[in-house]
Amino acid sequence: MSSRISRYLSGLVAIVLFNSSMAADLHAYTEDLPPLNYLQQGQLQGYSVELLQIIAHNAGINIDIEVLPWARAVATADADPNSILFTVARTPAREEQYQWLGPISKRRIVLIKLAHRGHIQAKTVEDAKKYTVGAVRESASAKKLQQLGFIPDKSLDLSPNDAISFKKLIKQRTDIIAILDWGAAWQAREQGLKYTQLSTVAVLDDDLDYYFALSNKINPLQFARLKAALVQAEKTGKIEQLRHKYFN
C-alpha cells in the first residue's frame, strides 16, 4: 500500500471517528410553544430549550433537538428509545410512559376569549361547553377537555400548535381557547394585541408541573447524570436566571 493511500485511509478513519464522537447520544423532540420552546428566525430558543442544553452539557451528553407539531413530536419520541420529549405536563395517565426529569416549571392553563365578545357568557369550564373551545391536539389540555365532555369537531376544535389556535380565536373561528396564561400573553404580543384585549373565562388546570419526559429505555446512568445536572443548575441559580429571562 502506498504512503499516499495509507495517509488517505488514516484521514478517513479520523473523520469517521470525529463524526461518531459528535453524534447525538439522545434525541429531543418538542413543539413550538413560546416562551418554553420555539423557533425564531431558524434558531431554537426558549426557557426549556436553554435549560435542557445546559444540563445536557453539564452531564456530558450530546443531544439534538427537533421542533415538530405536538402530536408528531409525541409519536416520534415514543418510537425512539433514546428520546426526550418536552415540555410535558406530568399527568397520571402519562406516569408510567416516561422517566420524569424535573419539575422544571409551574403550569397554569386558562380558558380565554376576546374581551369584546360580550355575548360569550361563560364563567366556568362547564359553561364553555355551549361554545367552541380550541386546544392543541394531543396536549394535556385537549385530553382534559375531552374527559370533561368536550367533543372533537363539535365543542372542541383541535389545532397543531398554540399559534394556530390563537389565530382561530382572533378570526372568531373559535370562541374560547385553552392556553398557558403567559403563553397567551406571548401570542397576543406576536399578533399585535394587548393582553387586556383578552378575558379569562376560567382556570382549566393549575395543579400540574412541567417536566422533561425521557424514554423508559434510556440508559439509567444517562438519566442519573441529567438528574444531577438539573439539581446543580437549580443550586447555582441558572434556573432562576432563565425564569427571569423568559417569564418576566
Instruction: Decide if 31 contacts 69 (C-beta within 8 A).
Output: yes
CATH 3.40.190.10 fits 109-205, yes or no: yes
Helix intervals (H) in the chain: 3-22, 47-59, 70-78, 140-147, 162-170, 181-190, 220-235, 238-247
Cβ contacts of 224 within 8 Å, gap of 6 or more: none
Domain boundaries along the sequence of the chain: 22-106+209-247, 109-205
Residues 191-243: pLDDT tens digits?
Answer: 999 989 999 999 999 999 999 999 999 999 999 999 999 999 999 999 999 99
Instruction: Decide if 136 contacts 95 (C-beta within 8 A).
Output: no
CA dist., res. 219 & res. 26, Å (int): 10
Assess whether the region 22-106+209-247 and the region 109-205 belong to the same CATH fold: yes
pTM across the whole model: 0.73
Residues 94-125: pLDDT tens digits?
Answer: 999 999 999 999 999 999 999 999 999 999 99
CATH 3.40.190.10 fits 22-106+209-247, yes or no: yes
CA dist., res. 230 & res. 87, Å (int): 15
